[in-house]
Amino acid sequence: MHRSGTAMAWNVFKFCTALRGLGSIMILLVLGIVGVTYYALVLCNYGPALLAATGALDALVALAVLLLFHFLLVMLLWSYFSVVFTDPGGVPPNWRPDVDEERAETAPLSTTELSDTGSPRIRYCRKCNQLKPPRCHHCSVCGRCVLKMDHHCVWVVNCVGALNYKFFLLFLFYTFLETALVTLSLLPHFIAFFSDVEIPGTPGALATTFLTFVLNLAFTLSVLGFMIMHVSLVSGNTTTIEAYEKKTTPFWKYDLGRKRNFAQVFGNNKWYWFIPSYSEEDLRIIPALQGLDYPVRSDFDGQGF
């Protein structure tokens, strides 16, 4: 039994190491898919269609598709690289809670009380050799504890946590809109493959168009389901990891109502809701963006994370 447990731990470690090694490969894969899509939609279909348009309506449709495609592409890439390069949030060195939240005491905790394993509010990470704030989890791929960790995403080569969750949700949102637009735009060309209509273009361009349609249709459906799941998590102020804990808890202590739960992720400034950035005011008041203050202090709409 001991050998089996040791072998399993070793296999998990090797698997996490392999995920860590994907790194730039996944980024190149994402950029490759974007490049193929750009080639099929812009260079093979709607770009030539705009130049060769004989009617005002055809030119207007082609121009609208191209403008919308490029706008969504910019927002998608902006959101994507914001997730990739934004630290999800780590535990400050030698972090200690100010008070015992479980006992509602105002005096600082002693070292003995901090190591008390009977308290569900005070946790210790044996891998990081440090205390774990509330809603903090250890990521085996990143090799550290992450604040309000949702999951480790191989597509963005990063953990999704307190400081980049908004950017991840926007990446899903713009990916869905982009892939849905490409799917609908290439649908007539896809249907033409199975008809007797003669399709202009080289065999390579036609094959790329066919592949792009299939890929974007698959991404549209999969991202839609993933996005619906995360919208439900945001509405309940829950992460993917915490969703399992919530099922066994009759009352979720972090649920502040849909409006305030949404504001904790996206901020109060509506002008910044759909861009991967925060206003100066939101940077000041959102506890998740204040490092140490995030797990221990309540200064956002009267409540904290």
- Cα separations (Å) of 286 from 53, 97, 102, 301, 305? 51, 19, 23, 9, 9
Geometric angle at alpha carbon 225, from 221 and 227, rounded to 5°: 110
Which of 59, 49, 7 lies closest to 189, judged by CA?
49
Helix and strand tally (H, E) in the chain?
11, 6
Q: What is the DSSP string of 146-207?
A: EET--EEETTTTEEE-TTTHHHHHHHHHHHHHHHHHHHHHHHHHHHHHTSSPPPPS-HHHHH
Tokens of 285: 């008041």
Q: Catalytic residues, which ones?
A: 153
Q: What is the Cα–Cα distance from 123 to 114, expressed in whole angstroms?
A: 8
Q: What is the DSSP letter of 96?
A: -
Q: What is the Cα–Cα distance from 203 to 210, expressed in whole angstroms?
A: 11
Place of tokens 């008041």: 285
Residue 258: CB atoms within 10 A of its CB come to: 12
